[in-house]
Chains A and B, each alone.
Chain A
Amino acid sequence: MTALKRTPLNDAHRKAGARMVPFGGWDMPVQYTGIVEEHRAVRSAVGLFDVSHMGEFEVEGPQALAALQSLTTNDASTLALGQVQYSVLCYPEGGIVDDLTVYRLADERYMITVNASNIDKDFAWVTEPTAALKGARWRNVSEATGLIAVQGPRAEGLVARLSQDDVAGIRYYHFARGAVAGVPALISRTGYTGEDGFELYVAAGDTERLWSALLEAGRADGVAPIGLGARDTLRLEMKYALYGNDIDETTNPLEAGLGWVVKPAKGEFVGRAAIERVRAAGPRRRLVGLEMVDRSVARHGYPVLKDGRAAGVVTSGSYGPSVDRFIALAYVETPLAAVGTDLAVEIRGQARPARVVKTPFYSPKVKR
């Protein structure tokens, strides 16, 4: 077994008394004070997440756009300078390599942000097929990059107070270059919680200085450091997919509900033909939101039943602190995917009633 990797904030987490766990090869904080308390801090005030473990690649050159277009499902040609796009990398068979965000940094220069556990796989995946494209140079800048997410209704006020830049003027899924607490940053109005907020990309060596400054300046806002546990419950309430749980090489974007980022009209890309076949036939199964009728936690891998027969599988599940319900995501056969369908989840040999519900489970009070 190889040693766990550490983000630039590892010491800060330990000093703060965080409980550390292995996550995708990284030593990461799962919680500081408690998952429910941290979850609520993000919904009601502002939370800081160390997401420095995520991967960042840059691609530059006259063929940079062509490389992205050939690999990702979304249409990167629509990106203006300063704009961000959610997208997916697929295998030729339509399974998902990873989900990612694409940043247009300059005319012929882009950055993509990928999941921590997929960095090596993804870098090989994007560089090998486009190696022949001499006009597209890839660089893995993951180790040089720190990333702090500032999320919650008070995120804008906190970041604005520490910056000379017009951070309030940055629109959702856009970014600007600037400085926060004197640290040069790419300030991106994105996140994985459903709340307003930013993701701040900085030099790895500046990460701890920015983290401390945000904690200090946010004290009156009720700022709290947030672990991976609450990151998971926050994203689950929004039905944001988690790679490795809800999407992976065995799932295609259409059944995962990510058809909105698949743009076959843009031209050829890896997986296009397979996904178009799925679209024509209609996905056999769909990722839906389930609400447990009783108190019971449906977890990844638990079978979904319809009248006693196997009809799907749970991919994520937990107590949702902001909805005060036991919620789950599950793939179910398409005819059973309609809101209101009565199903069951098999939990320790018992069929526990569940119902397909509208998603997101939680509606944030954000203007966008």
Chain B
Amino acid sequence: MANIPAELRYTKDHEWAKQEGGRIRVGITHFAQEQLGDVVFVELPKAGARATAKKAFGVVESVKAVSDLFAPLSGEVVEVNDALAKAPETVNGDPYGKGWMIVIAPSAPREWDGLLTASQYEEFLAQSGP
């Protein structure tokens, strides 16, 4: 069944966002990594870069496909998961944990309220589903 942690928020592009004391950790969902298949490369911005909500902040490549990563919120990228450069397959193995991608210090924290809740994301998947 769908693996959609209740405490996270989601985008329709299959990123997740997690509140961590005012900062937002970002990754891609279990569904996204499953659709991509074996992830072989993740291109992320450098710490200090600007992220803009709904705009691409990076790229994930699997054996078959290349896909943009979209920022759930705007702000400054304050942390980047450099471990993915050497071990991109972590995104498949642990998409909500060690497979995280960036941490954003949001410039417009209210954007959080515009993200999908777990149940909304689940419904979205069901509607668009295969």
Contact = CB atoms under 8 A, between A and B. Distances in A.
B63 A319 contact: yes
Q: Which bracket fits the contact residues of A?
A: 10 to 19
A37 B64 CA distance: 14
A302 B63 CA distance: 16
B61 A297 contact: yes
B58 to A, nearest CB: 11
Max chain A C-beta neighbours (<10 A), residue from B37, B38, B62: B38
Contact of B63 (A36, A295, A296, A348): A36
A363 to B, nearest CB: 21
Interface residues of B, number: 13
Contacts, number: 37
Interface stretch (A27-35, A53-61, A82-90): A27-35
A353 to B, nearest CB: 15
Given A35-B63, A229-B63, A229-B64, A319 B37 contact: no
A151 interface: no
Instruction: State the main secondary structure of chain A at its contact with B.
Output: mixed
Contacts of A233: 63
Interface in B59-78: 59, 61-64, 66
A193 interface: no
30 contacts: A30-B64, A31-B37, A34-B37, A34-B38, A34-B92, A35-B37, A35-B62, A35-B63, A35-B64, A36-B38, A36-B63, A37-B38, A229-B37, A229-B63, A229-B64, A233-B63, A295-B40, A295-B41, A295-B88, A296-B41, A297-B40, A297-B41, A297-B61, A299-B66, A319-B38, A319-B41, A319-B63, A321-B63, A326-B40, A326-B41
B85 interface: yes
